[in-house]
Structure 1
């Protein structure tokens, strides 16, 4: 490249923007589905989608996964804020599309959970997360699914030793020198 940047470092700002865009889309989709769930499922019995295997059932979760730590919602809010900050910071270096997808899913999931903790009832930093997708022993939401997929993808990338910065750039070939014949 004429500017002296390698192709991989030129991709970093574009992939960071992709992380942010995917996270933003996920936040919108998650919040819209939660709005729908609250308006359509409040006061209703569970709705079977695939028998008892998959149902729509509205719950409010003050805790973490499996309702762990329900007395410490404010701590979960701080953890979610730290996760959003950390993922955003790490994402600035992303040079791999697969890492961008994984980090975007994680950032979107963590951000929407943070918004729930900050803005939903019963109050600031004590808000309950809206869950409505009941699949067996678990009840979750779109953000939970994104978090699980994002973490799984990052785990696979890490186990395969694929760096966050992407594949190493090919060294630029030196310009050919004319060969002198004696």
Structure 2
């Protein structure tokens, strides 16, 4: 019986590719679920929650100066672009590193929460909170600050992610992962084209939001001050 070394060598790579394809929908599905749940809650809150308001700046963790940068139409738009790039990098790491479920789930909750809040600023607030200024819809009161479900996902996901990564690092000895097959030149070309198209659309959306900056911070215009250009 002859032994085909080429076929044997190709099997691990093929198995790795299949594992990667199975892992990618799991990550994207988790992120989608977090975003959908959060956006539905914001849609409801803008119409029915008594203490809802728009956070058009930053948060207590970045300080007053950076919060003002986020509130500004121009610098806020630039920061949104940077945040979008960072979150995409984090998503790619989560997909390609293929961590165990105990790490993947809190990581997905954390990234999904950040994505959902960022989507508010990138234009989804036109749907969930019509007439509002660019920003995240907050409706969970915790004096003197209000939060949303995305914030809950971010805080809980971050804490669980840190614990999971620490426990995994201390208790497991990971075997070296098989090197994935390098993409073909054609596949790399398609990736660059898709990336360029996505970036162009994103810049157009952010630019439109920066130019058409304005709106209210609560559903009732009579009880709030309009945000002007």
TM range, smaller chain: 0.5 to 0.7
Which of 169, 174, 180 is the aligned partner of 1:168? 174
Instruction: Identify the residue that residue 158 of structure 1 maps to in structure 2.
Output: 165
The separation in 1 between residues aligned to 2:92 and 2:116, in whole angstroms, is: 17
Normalized per residue, the structure richer in strand is 1
Instruction: Identify the residue that residue 101 of structure 2 maps to in structure 1.
Output: 97
Instruction: Identify the residue that residue 112 of structure 1 maps to in structure 2.
Output: 116
Instruction: Identify the residue that residue 82 of structure 1 maps to in structure 2.
Output: 85
The separation in 2 between residues aligned to 1:9 and 1:37, in whole angstroms, is: 42
Alpha-carbon RMSD: 3.2
TM-score by length of 1: 0.68
Mark the CA change 1:132 to 1:106 in structure 2 (over 3 Å): closer, same or farther: same
* Count of matched residue pairs: 151
Residue 27 in structure 1 maps to residue 35 in structure 2? yes
Instruction: Identify the residue that residue 174 of structure 1 maps to in structure 2.
Output: none
The separation in 2 between residues aligned to 1:26 and 1:16, in whole angstroms, is: 16
TM-score by length of 2: 0.55
Q: Residues 63 and 76 of structure 1 are in contact (CA less than 8 Å); yes or no, is this contact kept in structure 2? A: no
Instruction: Identify the residue that residue 46 of structure 2 maps to in structure 1.
Output: 38
Note the 1:13-24 alignment, pairs <5 A: 13-24=21-32
Q: Secondary structure at the match of 1:65?
A: coil
Q: Deviations over 1:98-131 (max 9, x none)?
A: 2210221122112212210111369xxx721100
Q: Residues 103 and 165 of structure 2 are in contact (CA less than 8 Å); yes or no, is this contact kept in structure 1? A: no
1:140 Cα offset (Å):
0.9
Mark the CA change 1:167 to 1:10 in structure 2 (over 3 Å): closer, same or farther: farther
Q: Residues 27 and 111 of structure 1 are in contact (CA less than 8 Å); yes or no, is this contact kept in structure 2? A: yes
Structure 2 unaligned spans of 5+: 1-7, 177-229
Residue 148 in structure 1 maps to residue 155 in structure 2? yes
1:64 Cα offset (Å):
1.8
Structure 1 unaligned spans of 5+: 45-56, 171-182
Q: Deviations over 1:55-96 (max 9, x none)?
A: xx2010011223733334324412430232111110122231
